[in-house]
Chains A and B, each alone.
Chain A
Amino acid sequence: MKKFNKRFFLFFLVLSLILVVTACSSGIEADKEVVEVEKDTVIFGDAGWDSIRLHNAIAGFILENGYGYETEIMPGSSINLLEGMISGDINVMMEMWQDNFIAYKKSREIGEVIELGTNFDDNAQGLYVPRYLIEGDAERGIKALAPDLKTVEDLKKYANLFPDAEDPGRAIIYNGPPSWEATTIIDIKSEFYGLTEDYNIVGTGTSAALAASLSAAYVKGEPWVGYYWEPTWISGKYDLVLLEEAPFDESLWTEEESYACEFKSSDVTIAVNPEFADRNPEVIEFLTNYTTSSLLTAQALAYMQENDASIDEAAKWFIGENEDLWKNWVPEDVYSKVMAALE
C-alpha cells in the first residue's frame, strides 16, 4: 500500500511538472506568433575554419538583433554542408572558396544553390615559411637560416633545412588535405619548379593536422615549409611569409602550363539555398550587400586570439569597430536596432 502511494505521488509530480512546462512554453509561443509571422530560422553551415565561424557570428548577430530572425549553426565538413544546403537543411554558407571547391561550382551551375555575392576576395594562398627562417628572431634567439629565401624556386638551395624524417636524405614540403584543388596544384607546381628532385610533397590528411605541424615547428622555432592560406587564425597568430612566384596570369593557370604563377586571389562568396532565398527576400538583400575583406577578417581573428575572446565576442567587436562598413548593408531601422543591441 505504501509503495503504491509513493508511486502515485511521483506520477502526480511528474504530470504536474509536464503541465506547467507545456503551459509556459505554449504561452511564450503564442506571444511570438502575434509579434512576427513565421520567420524562418536561418541555419548557417560551419565548415570548421575560423573565418567562416566569424562571418557566421557577425551575420547571425545582425539577423537576430536587427531583423528578429532566429539563427542556428550546423557544423560539418564542407562537402556534407554543400549536400545539406542543396536539400535545404542548411540555408546559408558565408564562405565558399570556389576555386578550391569543385563540387560547389557544379551545384552552382545547375542552380542547386544560389551565389549571392563576394564576401572577400583579397586573400592569398601558396607555400609559406615562418618569417624567423628568413630574418631570424633575436628575441627568441633564432638565427636566420635561409636569408636569401624569397621565391618558391629558392627552396631548391635550402633542401637541407627541411629534412623528411620518414625518408632520410630527402626534404619535405607539407601540402594541404587530399581533396583540395590547391593540393593538386601545389603538387604540379612543385614538379614544374624542380622541387620534387629533393623534396617529397606530402599531403596532410586534414587541415587540422597541417595546422598542428606548423604550430609545432613554430613554437620550437624550427624550419617549416608548406601550403597555407590567408586569412586564418594561424596566419593571424604566426608571422608567416608567402614565397613569391610569377604574378598571376590566366594563360599560365592550366595543368599543361603547370600553374606556373602565383595563386589568383580567390573569390570567397556567400551561397544560399534557392527555396530559402525565395521565402526571405530581406535576408537575401542583406547577404548580397555583405562584403568584408581579408584584412578585416584577419584583424577580428587576431583580436580573438589576443584577448582570448569567444567567436561571438569577436563578432561583436567587429560590428562595433566597423560600423561604417555594415551600415550600408542594412536599412536604417535595422541599423539602429543592431546598435541598440550592441550596448
Chain B
Amino acid sequence: MFEFPQIFEFKIGKVVESFVEWLTINYAGFFDSIKTGILFVLLKMQMIFEWIPWFVIIGIVFLVGWKVKGLKSGIAYTIMLFLIGVMGYWDQMIMTISIVLAAVIISLVLGIPLGIISAYKKRVDIILRPMLDAMQTMPSFVYLIPAIMLFGLGMVPAVFATTIYSLPPVIRLTTLAINSVSKEMKEASQSFGATPLQTLIKVEIPQALPTIMTGVNQTTMMAMAMVVVASMIGSKGLGYSVLIAINRTDIAMGFESGLSIVFLAIIIDRLTQSIGTKYKYD
C-alpha cells in the first residue's frame, strides 16, 4: 500500500564492496603476511598431528577420558575414535582438528582478555555486544566472500570464518563470569590491600573459572559446527566429505562423515567440560 520512497535509497553495500576491493589491491602485502603466519602455524600443527601415530592419539584420549571422567567414558571415547578410523576418515579428522584447534586458540587469546575488559568497562561492553550479535547471526557467506578475496582460498579463510563464529561465547561468558563474582569477595581482597590487578588474577579469575571454562567449551562446539561451512571455501577435512556426499546425494558417505563429526564433537565436548568442572573452586 505504502511503498518506501525511492529518494531515500542509498546503496550501503556498494561502499563496502569498494572498500574490500581497495583493501585487496592496496593491502595485499599485509593480508598475505597474516595469511602466511596463520598458514605456517596450521601446517606445523597438522604435521605434528600426522606425525603422532594413530594408536598414541587414541591412547592419549583414553587416558585423559579415564582421568577426568572415568573408565567407562574413556573406553567409550576410544571406541568412537577408533570407529572414525574404521570408517576411513582418520586423515580428514586430523585436518578438521587442526582447523578447529587453531580457531579455538585464536578465539581464546582474543576472547578472554576482551571479556575481562568489557566486564570492567561498561562502554566497551555496549560497543562489543552488537558486534557479537552480528558475528553470530550474519550469514557466513556474507563475510566469507570478502575473506576469500583477502586471504585466498583454503584453510586460512576457514580459520577466519570459524573464529568469527566461535569467538562470541567465550567473550560473553567471561564477562558474565567476572561480573558475577560476589562483591564481598572483591571487597575482602581489597581490604587486605590487594591491588586491582592482584584482585583480578588471584580472586576474580579463579572464582570465574568454571563459567569461563563453559565459555571455552561453547567456543569449541561452535567451531565444530562451522566445519561444513569451512569446507565450502576449500578447506579439506570431515566437512569436505560431508559436502561431497550432500552434492552427490550419497547417503552412505554423508552418514559416515556426519557421524564422524558427531563423535569428534562428543569427545571434545565431554573432555573440555570435565576439565572445566575439575577447576571448580569451593
Chain A residue with the shortest CB-CB distance to B21: A219
Chain A residue with the shortest CB-CB distance to B11: A308
12 contacts between A and B (CB under 8 A): A166-B155, A178-B247, A178-B248, A179-B248, A205-B231, A205-B233, A208-B232, A209-B144, A209-B234, A212-B148, A213-B148, A215-B149
* B153 on the A face (CB < 8 A): yes
Report if A178-B243 is in contact (Cβ < 8 Å); known contacts: A165-B39, A165-B152: yes
Instruction: Check B249–A174 contact: CB distance below 8 A.
Output: no
Q: Which residues of B contact A178 (CB under 8 A)?
A: 240, 243-244, 247-248
Instruction: Check A209–B233 contact: CB distance below 8 A.
Output: yes
Instruction: Check B247–A177 contact: CB distance below 8 A.
Output: yes
Rounded to whole angstroms, the CA-CA distance of A178 and B239 in the bound complex is 12
Q: Which residues of B contact A179 (CB under 8 A)?
A: 244, 246-248
* A79 on the B face (CB < 8 A): yes
Could you tell me the dominant secondary structure of chain B's interface residues? helix
Rounded to whole angstroms, the CA-CA distance of A212 and B150 in the bound complex is 10
* A202 on the B face (CB < 8 A): yes
Query: Which A residues fall within an 8 A CB radius of B?
Result: 77, 79, 103, 165-166, 174, 177-179, 202-206, 208-209, 212-213, 215-216, 219-220
Number of residues of chain B lying within 8 A (CB) of chain A: 31
Instruction: Check B234–A216 contact: CB distance below 8 A.
Output: no
Q: Which residues of A contact B24 (CB under 8 A)?
A: 216, 219-220
Instruction: Check B249–A79 contact: CB distance below 8 A.
Output: yes
Q: Which residues of A contact B153 (CB under 8 A)?
A: 174, 202, 204, 209, 212-213
* B154 on the A face (CB < 8 A): yes
Report if A212-B145 is in contact (Cβ < 8 Å); known contacts: A165-B154, A204-B153: yes
Residue in B21, B35, B150, B240 whose CB lies within 8 Å of A165: B35
Rounded to whole angstroms, the CA-CA distance of A206 and B247 in the bound complex is 10
Interface centre among B28, B150, B234, B244, by most chain A C-beta atoms within 10 angstroms, is B234
Q: Which residues of B contact A216 (CB under 8 A)?
A: 24, 148-150, 152
Q: Within B58-73, which residues are at the interface with A (CB < 8 Å)? A: none
Chain A residue with the shortest CB-CB distance to B28: A220
Q: Shortest distance in angstroms between B144's beta carbon and chain A's nearest beta carbon?
A: 8
Q: Which residues of A contact B150 (CB under 8 A)?
A: 216
Report if A219-B233 is in contact (Cβ < 8 Å); known contacts: A166-B155, A178-B243: no
Rounded to whole angstroms, the CA-CA distance of A93 and B41 in the bound complex is 46
Q: Which residues of A contact B144 (CB under 8 A)?
A: 209, 212
* B180 on the A face (CB < 8 A): no
Mask of B152-164 contacts with A, CB within 8 angstroms, 1/0: 1111100000000
